[in-house]
């Protein structure tokens, strides 16, 4: 008899050989009821629940162990009581995978903290010495390829290559620390996981460079970018790039499928500017797919938000849900109600904005627009 412990939101069984669990796009406290009856379904396609066969007719509940494994090691263990019975089977409440501690603090044990690539192992004792277990990955392997919009359980993990550069400040120091960059990259991975996307850094540590020289500065003192960075999107498009923009475009790594993220001390007039391809009317592809960020004003989700600009290849949108990661301005904090979500989820459907974002971003993740 096949082991079919892990069930989808419609109670059908997952096939761990061809399917995976996914990180939810929903606001964490939305559509995650504390209890569900045996036959209840759930609207979140990435919610799942556990089912066990009872050892005998008088047994009304089963204790199930769920482990999260990362690189072979167990990183968390949770026990669940499955007590909604029908015939020989019992089921537990719906569960949800999340990626940050704020979301994990919601809904008791119903939220499970994971990263893409983790494995979820569930097991229970059906009799003394007789254990039933099943294991399933979070996201299908990167070697596969599936982007069906309504089947997130088929989605492979997609990797966006990023090159992260810190420009030296006026004092000659990197304008941002490795630790801060790691925190921002981690935040971005937490957010992008709901679309089955993670960042793949081209270097393990931040690359520190001298301030890119502007043509006019070739014989003058180095320009530091500590206070000013001129934005050339004068008419909504990049037609006449500023000297700053040309200088940074010349400092890219030459890989057309990596996003170059430049941290400078401070730019005006924004926290960050993303140079997405559809705005580039210069005819020079080097002026696409890079990001410039103020290290002294960066917010928790700035990197993730700007990467969305690049992967969606578009600017902000009218009626963006206030819980969306693509909403501007981004959140100052990582709270559950913050601007963290990527469509599709109920608010993107209600507002009819961003419902296709996961599909679009996944399509562009490994071959940039």
State the residues that interact with another protein by CB under 8 A.
231, 233-237, 239, 269-274, 279, 294, 297, 299, 302, 305-306, 309, 315-318, 322, 328-330
Residue 259 near residue 368 (C-beta atoms within 8 A): yes
> Minimum distance from CB of 174 to another protein (Å)?
21
- Report the nearest approach of another protein to the CB of residue 28 (Å): 21
Task: State yes or no: cis peptide before 269, omega within 30 of 0.
Answer: yes
CB closer to another protein, 135 vs 231 = 231
CA 17 remoteness from chain centre? 24
DSSP state of 117: T
Task: Give the CA distances from residue 296 to residues 50, 207, 342, in Å, rounded to whole numbers and listed in that order.
Answer: 46, 18, 26
Q: How far is the CB of 116 from another protein (least distance, A)?
A: 24
By beta-carbon proximity to another protein, the closer residue of 316 and 349 is 316
Q: What is the DSSP string of 199-220?
A: EEESSSSPEEEPPPPPGGGTTS
Nearer to another protein, 113 or 270 (CB): 270
CB of 233 vs another protein, minimal distance in Å: 6
CB of 228 to another protein, least distance (A): 14
Residue 236 CB neighbours (<10 A) = 9
Nearer to another protein, 66 or 274 (CB): 274
Nearest distance from C-beta of residue 55 to another protein, angstroms: 54
Q: Which is nearer to another protein, 95 or 361 (CB)?
A: 361
> What three-state secondary structure class fits 36?
coil
Give the residue from 96, 93, 88 showing the smallest Cα distance to 34: 93
Nearer to another protein, 167 or 273 (CB): 273
d(CA 307, CA 50): 35
Distance between CA atoms of 198 and 346, rounded to whole angstroms? 23
């Amino acid at each position: 008899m096949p082991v079919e412990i892990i069930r989808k939101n419609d109670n059908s069984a997952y096939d761990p050989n061809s399917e995976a669990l996914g990180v939810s796009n929903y606001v964490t406290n939305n559509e995650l009821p504390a209890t569900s009856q045996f036959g209840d379904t759930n609207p979140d396609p990435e919610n799942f629940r556990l089912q066990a066969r009872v050892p005998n007719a008088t047994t009304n509940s089963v204790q199930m162990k769920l482990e999260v494994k990362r690189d072979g090691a167990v990183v968390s263990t949770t026990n669940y009581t499955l007590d909604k019975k029908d015939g020989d089977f019992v089921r537990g409440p719906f569960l949800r995978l999340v990626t940050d501690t704020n979301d994990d603090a919601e809904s008791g044990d119903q939220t499970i903290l994971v990263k893409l690539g983790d494995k979820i192992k569930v097991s229970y004792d059906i009799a003394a010495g007789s254990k039933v277990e099943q294991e399933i990955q979070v996201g299908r392997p990167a070697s596969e390829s599936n982007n069906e919009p309504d089947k997130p359980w088929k989605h492979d993990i997609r990797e966006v290559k990023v090159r992260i550069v810190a420009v030296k400040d006026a004092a000659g120091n990197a304008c941002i620390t490795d630790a801060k960059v790691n925190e921002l990259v981690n935040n971005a991975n937490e957010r992008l996981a709901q679309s089955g996307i993670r960042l793949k850094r081209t270097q393990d540590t931040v690359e520190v460079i001298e301030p890119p020289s502007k043509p006019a500065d070739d014989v003058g003192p180095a320009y530091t970018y500590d206070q000013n960075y001129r934005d050339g999107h004068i008419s909504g498009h990049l037609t006449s790039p500023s000297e700053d923009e040309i200088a940074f475009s010349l400092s890219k790594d030459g890989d057309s499928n990596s996003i170059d993220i430049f941290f400078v001390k401070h730019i005006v007039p924004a926290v960050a500017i993303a140079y997405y391809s559809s705005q580039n009317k210069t005819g020079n592809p080097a002026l696409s797919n890079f990001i410039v960020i103020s290290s002294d004003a960066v917010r928790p989700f700035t990197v993730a938000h700007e990467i969305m600009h690049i992967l969606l290849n578009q600017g902000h949108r009218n009626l963006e849900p206030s819980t969306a990661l693509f909403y501007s301005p981004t959140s100052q904090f990582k709270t559950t109600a913050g601007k963290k979500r990527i469509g599709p989820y109920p608010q993107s459907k209600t507002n009819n904005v961003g419902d296709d974002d996961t599909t679009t971003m996944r399509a562009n993740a490994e071959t940039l627009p």
